Structure 1
Amino acid sequence: MTAILLTACDEPLGGGGEMHGIGGVDLMFRVAVSRADNAFVPVSDGMRLYADVDRRVEAFDLNTGAKLWSYTRPPGGPSSMVARDGRLFWAGDSAVALDAATGRELWRQGLDSPAGLGESDGDADAYYVGTREHRVYAFRATDGALLWTRDLGPDWPLGGVVRGMTVSGDTVYAAVEHNTGVNGYLGTGDVFALNRRTGAVHWVHRNGDGSGLDIYQSAGRVSGRLLLLSANWANEYVALDRLTGQEAWRARGEFPFAGMDEAPEVRENRAYFASHDLYARAVDLGTGREIWRTRVASGANKVAPCGKRLLVQHLGLSVLDLETGKMLGHGYGGEVNEYLHTDYVVVGNRAYVFGQRDLYGFRCPE
């Protein structure tokens, strides 16, 4: 399929027609995908796009959206996938590695409990997974051999779930939802800095005192010396000094609205987030000071810097100027009986997202 570039304008066409060039973001392709409404956790290695689609792991061409291969996965859907070095990793009831070019299974390893509630990560040496029973694993990337495992909460009477793993340099950061109330209605957000080769604990940071719902439900995001996290129930965004575990700053959306599940996105010296308080925000990466705040079409839960634009996900799409926060256009929020529902995957100045029926590819101005 030939990529299509559409003439830019600031608003979508009415009457149920196709959307054209929202805020200067052009549609490259729109391709029907069977059960796109059940697509999750898209990711790219810059060569292909991958997603979990209705209990299958599938690969798509970045230029046309054409499906390249499909793999029927074992039970337990992943909450993230990792694509690097010719391999695609994910974890549900087991940890699995596929050949990224063909979808052929390379290895599979069992876990003490499901890992589908947490985001995983990997580097050239290992794949790092956390489970719902507060345990983390490091598997060798090439063959799945267990390198080490560690229980992060052996003395926690009410348990905890590893919500995200982030590897940077010689350290793996595990963000854990530590339950302090029955049925998980109270909890702290605990972050463990671990030696990536041995699992030894360097430091532990705890968000909250256990009397509220101060949990982390996703992996942190590394930017320079900072580790950024989202305490989404409190609509708070926390930056830790990742060498010491000390809090560097904290930015907030409006309470009692929920915030993003995922950590803020970073571009140069700014961090970006949006929440159900109807605002997208840019803050200074060094201090957390708010630079701009812009009202979007509805409650938002995902953002993606793409070229000179910030794409804001609220089932539809709002396009903001990345520098100033100016609203440039919005659409795909029901006007064409369509809703965008997955994370945006950004490759260069292109962004990919699944709707209810289709996979979309967009091109952003540079």
Structure 2
Amino acid sequence: MRRYDAEVVHAAMVALMRDRGISAAHAADVADALVDASLRGIDTHGVRLLDFYLKEIEGGRAKKQPSFRIHGDYPAAALFDADDALGVVAGAAAMREVIGRARKAGIAALAVSRSNHFGRADYFARMAAAAGQIGLVFSNSDALVVPFGGVVPLNGTNPLAMAAPGLDDDGFYLDMATSQTAYSRVLLALRHGLPVEPGLATNQEGQDLSHGGDLGALQPLGGIKGQGLGMMIQILCALLSNMPFDAELSNLYREPYDTPRQISHFMVAIEVAAFVDPAVFRARLSELLAQFRQSQPAGAAPVRVPGDPEREVEADRRRTGIPLAEEDVAVLSGYLAVERVAADHPDVAMT
């Protein structure tokens, strides 16, 4: 795959979305999140999603110009109505709101209703960390995970994320699903005729997929513990926002993309200064991370902490560029030339 400079890709994405009638601010939110994911090596949630998000808008699932509304009189808690916006746009707007509220109240939380797929949960948690706060982000999704000992999917892969700032650019960045593995990973293995490890997924008869058959559902992470985490996220997201349960949500890729999915999120920001000197917190967090990184490894590879693999990939891709598949290049065809972007969209920053 050919590699492209991240700034060029970002500018091309913004230019394409502006040509489709998406506001400059919302186009920047989408490009920021997707380029960030690709830079960090999470290509499944990176630039490749742009075409899908455009289809959501063109089909009517997501609104091009949503009108956000905030309900509730509590200073540190509210319901954020995303008005069927693109999930990335809704997530960024909601996190900015919760960061601002936490700055005043010490801690704040928002339940987000009427949203869509928002990509990587840790992207929004890291927005809080960049503001010197601790960020917690949760989202529900359509049911793909069976209960422990069950055969009917009732939980989504329901991700959770946490981000906390350390010294300089260091920090704790956790992003995880509550299923044993990613749905796309199992599909890819089946497509290439590769074996699926026992305990990851079930077939359509409810048996372990390692025995053969077509993919039915995923297993919960750690058995009953993962099931409980998935249910916890449904409670925080779907119940607090009065949105559908996971089992009532439509599949992400079900066409036509003309019906809002009513995905819900839950976001928390914690103002570190409300509890401890932020400088002390940052130093102690980096000390904690160092304890793990410097601990004795079981083999040749060093011990890592959440966020380290992505940080290493990002350092490489900022030097060498983001690898784009041919289909992703085709979506941006005509926009990847810096000269064209600069000429047609002088409002798009190239640096």
Asked if these proteins are the same fold (TM beyond 0.5), I'd say: no
Structure with greater proportional helix content: 2
TM-score w.r.t. length of structure 2: 0.30
TM-score w.r.t. length of structure 1: 0.29
Bigger relative contact order, structure 1 or 2, given CA contacts below 8 A and separation 6+? Answer: 2
